Amino acid sequence: MGGWVCAAYGVACYAVFVGTLLYAVGFVGDLFIPKSLDSGPTGPVAEALVVDALLLAVFAVQHSVMARRSFKRWWTRIVPSAVERSTYVLASSLLLLLLFWQWRPMTGVVWRVDATAAVLAIRIVFWLGWAVALVSTFLLDHFELFGLRQVLARLTNRTLPAPEFRTPLFYRHVRHPLYVGFLLAFWAAPTMTVGHLVFAIATTGYIAVGIRLEERDLVRDLGDRYRRYRERVGMLVPRVKSRAVVGDRGAGPL
């Protein structure tokens, strides 16, 4: 693939991701869009549970497997290394769009918060979660994380520098602020339906597994530096202040 073709492909994949992310905000928060976690035609709960679980499982497998180093070594024999990350982002986005399209709502209410002040507080947490997740990607390297930097380097015949061990804002307090942001957004619901609860539990479980896989890779790559960082800084909840932090590039949810 020529440099311009790679660049056009990477930009197109990024555009699909941005659209998917914006739709995801509305899908989880039941905002602005015609079909969300809790909207659409309903059917038998057992059928909905099976379909939703399969959709979540397919996304989780793709998202984790394609992020593993062994898969990347095999995959880049087929696709140029410059577009490997863009292809990963595109595949993740398309599977998320499939999930949004085929999701079966389960509208039984698990809990409902009616007090105006409490609803406002929950909505603030929801938007704070998305903000933390987005800012966390820029603290790492947003454009490399989503494949743009790689295709632009291919276009200009540059070599990307190796990842650095550094100390960006949130990473001084928790090792995975990106996941913290997603968890806040997924669980902050004034009305928690059965379907929303299934989604929140499943994504929380996936995040727990993803962290385990990601940290295994980071220990392998960084050795004692990451082990010492892990001892000082909490995974998702702040433990103690730390001066050492690493930007990770593992199997995140988008």
Q: What is the pLDDT of residues 30-51, one digit of tens each?
A: 998 889 999 888 889 999 999 9
Inter-axis angle of helices 148-155 and 84-102, nearest 10? 140
What is the reported pLDDT for 94?
98
Residue 242 has pLDDT above 60, yes or no: no
In the structure, what pLDDT confidence band is assigned to residue 241 with cuts at 50, 70 and 90? low
AA identity, residue 101: W
Q: Evaluate if residue 168 carries a pLDDT over 70.
A: yes
Ordered alpha helix ranges (H), 103-140 = 116-140
Report whether 63 contacts 92 (CB < 8 A).
yes
- Asked if residue 1 has pLDDT above 80, the reply is no
Count Cα atoms within 13 angstroms, Cβ side, for 139: 23
* pLDDT (mean) for 155-174: 83
Q: What is the mean pLDDT of the chain?
A: 90
Whole-prediction pTM value?
Answer: 0.88
Cβ neighbours of 5 (radius 10 Å): 14
* Percent of the chain topping pLDDT 70: 93
Q: Is the pLDDT of residue 165 over 80?
A: no
Please check whether residue 214 is in contact with residue 158, taking contact to mean a CB–CB distance below 8 angstroms.
Answer: no
Q: What are the boundaries of each domain within the chain?
A: 3-155+164-232
Mean pLDDT to the nearest integer, 74-80 = 91
Question: Regarding predicted confidence, which is higher, 243 or 235?
Answer: 235
Pair of tokens at residue 44: 């038998």
Tell me what the mean pLDDT of segment 76-94 comes to: 94
Give the least confident one: 113-117, 147-151, 244-248: 244-248
> Tell me, what's the pLDDT at 167?
63
pLDDT band at 148 (very low <50, low <70, confident <90, very high): very high
